[in-house]
Amino acid sequence: MSVRSTLPRSDVSAQGGAPPFGSVGMQDGATQGLASRTAEIAALDADLSARRAQVAQRRRLIIYALRLAFTVLWLGSWELSTRLNWVDPFFVGQPSGVVQRLWTWITEGTALGPLWLQAVVTMQEAVVGFLIGAALGVVFGILLGRIEVMAEVLSPFIKGANAIPRVVLGSLFAVMFGLSLWGKAATAVVLVFFVVFFNAFQGVREVDRNLIANARILGADNRRLTTEIIIPSAMTWILASLHISFGLAIVGAVVGELFGATAGLGQLIYNAGHTFDVNGVFAGMFVLAVLALIAEGLISALENRLVKWRPSRVSGEIPI
């Protein structure tokens, strides 16, 4: 009589009835066929993965072709409608004009000096602001996440500061720091700080209680708990915020330049706008976009290095 059959149905009897696999001996014939079967399966696998690679390759080509078609349609319709004078190129610009403007900037320099110098100035402001803002955000996020009293005391101030449309602080910083790099960097700092701070704070709060308990049982002191459990766990959140916040650092630098600057892409765009040079505005935007995309790529590379313990991206997922 089996034990299980005498029991009423309940969660107790439903669990853990192991089949007696230990007592069933392997048939001798079964091992012989095993080698040839393994080879057969390996061949099937290889075939399947080759076919899958082919399909993926074709799909990639189609996507690129569609992207090209979209670009042609977009720029072509813009160019055409201005050529045919359906809309006035004076107000909306013209792709060919933008390319021309970029070319003069590259070959002859801009009104403010060489183009690369404007890019360097703006990127310097953005990067300095980004680094300071992100570092402060991470440090304060972790501190407030770990020390509850601090979070309770400071939370109304932080919420209040976050409610201000912070770009207006750019005018304040222009007064404080004059035309130097620091005014623009400071604007970038206030934009970056809050995004990183809130993510770091949340990341610390969301650490799995089980992991903390496990580390404490294993003998981790508070310092180890922070460096080995809390920070790595919050890193996913922090890195996600860095993606958004580098874009914000560029916004900060460009807005800062509007409040007073002698060089930089923001200043260049501002000047172009003032002289009714719409193509110049678009050209400046284009350069900014390229730089932002490069920075984004660098941050993604950093992310992949730092969180290599995470399961890799599902192949079907579309990276945007």
Partner 1 sequence: MAGAAIELRSVTKRFATPKGGVYTAIRDLTMEVAPGEFCAVVGPTGCGKSTTLALISGLERASAGEVLVAGEAVRGIPQGIGYVFQSDAVFPWKTVLGNVAAGPRYHGVSNWDASKQAKEWIARVGLAGFEDRYPHQLSGGMRKRVGLAQSLINNPRILLMDEPFSALDVQTRTLMENELLSLWAASSASVVFVTHDLEEAIALADRVVVMTAGPGTVKGTFAVDLPRPRNVAEIRFQPRFVQIYEAIWSQLRDEVLVSYERQKHAAAV
Binding site for partner 1 (CB under 8 A): 1, 3, 6-8, 10-12, 15-23, 208, 210-211, 213-221, 224, 228-229, 232-233, 235, 307-311
Task: Return the DSSP state at 318.
Answer: P
DSSP 241-256: HHHHHHHHHHHHHHHH
Judged by CB, which is closer to partner 1: 3, or 320? Answer: 3
CB atoms within 10 A of CB 29: 8
Judged by CB, which is closer to partner 1: 212, or 285? Answer: 212
**Closest separation between CB of residue 4 and partner 1, Å?**
9
> Distance between CA atoms of 175 and 266, rounded to whole angstroms?
18
**Closest separation between CB of residue 46 and partner 1, Å?**
22
Which regions of 72-114 does DSSP assign to beta strands (E)? Answer: none
Judged by CB, which is closer to partner 1: 20, or 319? Answer: 20
> Distance between CA atoms of 228 and 182, rounded to whole angstroms?
35
**Closest separation between CB of residue 299 and partner 1, Å?**
19
**Closest separation between CB of residue 237 and partner 1, Å?**
13
> Distance between CA atoms of 305 and 308, rounded to whole angstroms?
6
Judged by CB, which is closer to partner 1: 136, or 212? Answer: 212
**Closest separation between CB of residue 204 and partner 1, Å?**
15
Say if CB 116 and CB 178 are below 8 A apart.
Answer: no
Judged by CB, which is closer to partner 1: 223, or 274? Answer: 223
Burial bucket for residue 247 (CB in 10 Å: 0-12, 13-18, 19+): middle
**Closest separation between CB of residue 220 and partner 1, Å?**
5
Say if CB 301 and CB 248 are below 8 A apart.
Answer: no
Judged by CB, which is closer to partner 1: 160, or 219? Answer: 219
**Closest separation between CB of residue 169 and partner 1, Å?**
37
Say if CB 245 and CB 132 are below 8 A apart.
Answer: no
Judged by CB, which is closer to partner 1: 58, or 310? Answer: 310
> Distance between CA atoms of 258 and 184, rounded to whole angstroms?
9
Nearest CA-CA partner of 254 in 293, 279, 291, 299: 291
Say if CB 95 and CB 81 are below 8 A apart.
Answer: no
